[in-house]
Amino acid sequence: MKLAPSLAAVIALLALVVGVVAGRATAQSAGGSGGGSGGAAAGKRVDVIIKASDSSFWQTMLAGASKAAGDYGLQVSLFGPTSETDVNQQVQLVENSISRGVDAIVLAPNSSTALNNVIERARKAGIKVIIADTQVTTESDGFIGTDNTKAAEQAGRRLCELTKAAGKDSGDVLIESSVAGVQVLENREEGFRSGLGSCPNLKVVGPRYNNNDINTAASQVNDALTANPRIVGVFAANNTSGDGTARAIKDNNAAGRIPVVSFDTDPQQVAALRDGTLDTLVVQNPYFFGYQGVVEAGMAVVGTAPPRNLDPGAVLAEKSNMDTPEVQALLTPPTAKAP
């Protein structure tokens, strides 16, 4: 089982942070969203705004946020644009939160820069802002997210191992990604290239951007495999890219011949991991993003400083370990939807 940090460390961190840090927020356990009667944070209003309401990954973050609301008596409302490419709608959702005068916002921003102004307006209005997943280039009250560079270095090293196992120590490796200019994806590309450096005869081609569309991703990978017989592996930088890549691998009967390492996890990716069209998933913990984001929002509202930067790590899931209880919990987490 390949873990980074070790799965035991991730679980220990989750227990420590959720147990100890949440306790410091002085909110007691409660059933139902905002239904608790615990300490100073109970009843505070927190808006959670994800990147895309149509994504199971972000729906898992909402599930974590909902659970924290019930556990610690915070009034949590859930929102998200329909697509990760709709930055303007996400800006409007933050504007709406400001207008309602909430106490805190937990935001997974679709851009590192485009939401800076509205984040600054929220904080000037006295609203605490906790950022999840994607760092922004303005001040916030805390950040929770995977170190994408470090996690992608693992992906690069693993694809190097997989290509060697397939009997190929040279050739081209395609990067299939979703949206240009997104810092998280740029960090993944950088980390992947670094990790792949352990196979110096493998050359990266791409990235190709699919605008977060599965059909476009499948078409791009199909075209690349047809046009370039030197491709010996694919790195898919997010779940949409992974879903499209898996479809192209299946269409080309390339499972077992062209290994694929993909970031994130959704039901289609899990099915592809099981049938061999994807070889490895770099699995994050969006449930933790949501749960701990609400906890940190409660801390910030009552004047207890939350951690400035919290990385829950990532796990490499493969067919060999996907049915273990620890990994299965990450591959099939609960979800919730914004109304």
Question: Domains of the chain by range and CATH?
Answer: 13-145+286-310 (3.40.50.2300), 148-283 (3.40.50.2300)
Residues 272-279: what's their mean pLDDT?
Answer: 98
Which residues contact residue 60 at a Cβ distance below 8 angstroms, ignoring those fewer than 6 apart? 286, 287, 290, 333, 334, 335
CB atoms within 10 A of CB 213: 18
CA 274 to chain centre: 21
- Tell me which residue of 170, 248, 237 sits closest to 208, measured CA to CA: 237
Burial class (CB in 10 A: 0-12, 13-18, 19+), 72: buried
**pLDDT tens digits, one per residue of 11-34:** 333 333 333 333 222 222 223 344
Q: Where are the beta strands (DSSP E) in the chain?
A: 2-4, 45-49, 75-79, 104-107, 128-132, 143-144, 171-177, 202-209, 231-236, 260-263, 280-283, 309-310, 314-317
pTM: 0.83
235 and 175 Cβ atoms separated by less than 8 Å: yes
Say which residue the tokens 């879903």 belong to.
243
173-189: pLDDT as tens digits: 999 999 998 889 999 99
pLDDT above 90: residue 152? yes
CA dihedral of residues 322, 323, 325, 331 (deg, nearest 10): 50
Q: In what order do the strands lie in the sheet with 75-79?
A: 75-79, 45-49, 104-107, 128-132, 143-144, 309-310
pLDDT recorded at residue 339:
79
Residue 185 contacts residue 224 (beta carbons within 8 Å): no
Q: What is the dihedral of CA 84, 134, 182, 101, to 10 degrees?
A: 50
Alpha carbon 245 to chain centroid, angstroms:
18
CA distance 112 to 107: 12
* Cα dihedral 246/249/255/261 (nearest 10): -50
Burial class (CB within 10 angstroms; exposed 0-12, middle 13-18, buried 19+) of 201: exposed
The per-residue pLDDT for range 243-265, each reduced to its tens digit, is 999 999 999 999 999 999 999 99
pLDDT bin (cut points 50, 70, 90) of residue 1 is very low
Q: Is the pLDDT of residue 335 over 90?
A: yes
**Residue bearing tokens 């930055």:** 87
| Whole-angstrom distance, CA of residue 292 vs CA of residue 4 | 19
Q: Does residue 158 register a pLDDT over 70? A: yes
Distance between CA atoms of residues 212 and 194, nearest Å: 24
Q: Is 16 exposed, middle or buried (0-12, 13-18, 19+ CB in 10 A)?
A: exposed
